[in-house]
Homo-oligomer: A and B are copies of this chain.
Amino acid sequence: VRTPRRSNQRTRIADELARLDTFISAQGLHFRLRLAGEQISLSTVYRTLHLLADLGRLDCVREPGGERLYRHRPGSQHRHYLTCRHCGLTLVVDATVIEEWAEQLRIVAGFAHLEHAVELSGVCGECGSETPEQSLK
C-alpha cells in the first residue's frame, strides 16, 4: 500500500463531496463537477471514489437499482442512515444497538472480521402527508 499522490482532480472531488454532505452517485457527482466547469472524467470520479472509500473517508449505500451512493464521512466511525424514498432526505441514526448486537453475534457464531451494512428507508413525515396522487408517482 503506497501513498496516493495529490492531484487537482482528486482535490476537487473530495472537496465537492465534503461540501455536499448528502449521498450522491458517481455519475451525479461527475455531472455536478462538469456544471461547475471542471474537466474531470467519469473514470477519474469512479477511481477517486474507490480510493476515498478504501481510506474510510466515505460512507456508501446501494440504491435499489444497484447504483452506489457515496457520502463524505466527517468522523472516523462509519454511520447508518435513514432515507426517505420520496424526497431523498437522509438522517443519521444512532446505531449503537446494532454495533453491540453484531459483536455479540460475531462471538456466538465464532466469526472473525465481521462487517455489517444496515439500510433503512421509508417515507418521511413531509412526504407521507402529501396527497395520495403524489405518492403514486
Q: Could you tell me which residues of chain A, from 85 to 121, have a CB within 8 Å of some CB in chain B?
A: 85, 91, 93, 97-98, 101-102, 105-106, 109-121
How long is the Cα–Cα vector from A91 to B108 in the complex, in angstroms?
12
Picked from B62, B82, B111, B120, the residue with its CB within 8 Å of the CB of A84 is B111
Copies in the complex: 2
A105 closest partner in B (C-beta) = B93
List 11 A-B pairs, Cβ < 8 Å.
A62-B62, A85-B113, A91-B109, A93-B109, A102-B120, A109-B122, A110-B128, A111-B123, A112-B122, A115-B120, A115-B122
Q: A residues touching B (Cβ–Cβ < 8 Å)?
A: 62, 66, 82, 84-85, 91, 93, 97-98, 101-102, 105-106, 109-125, 128
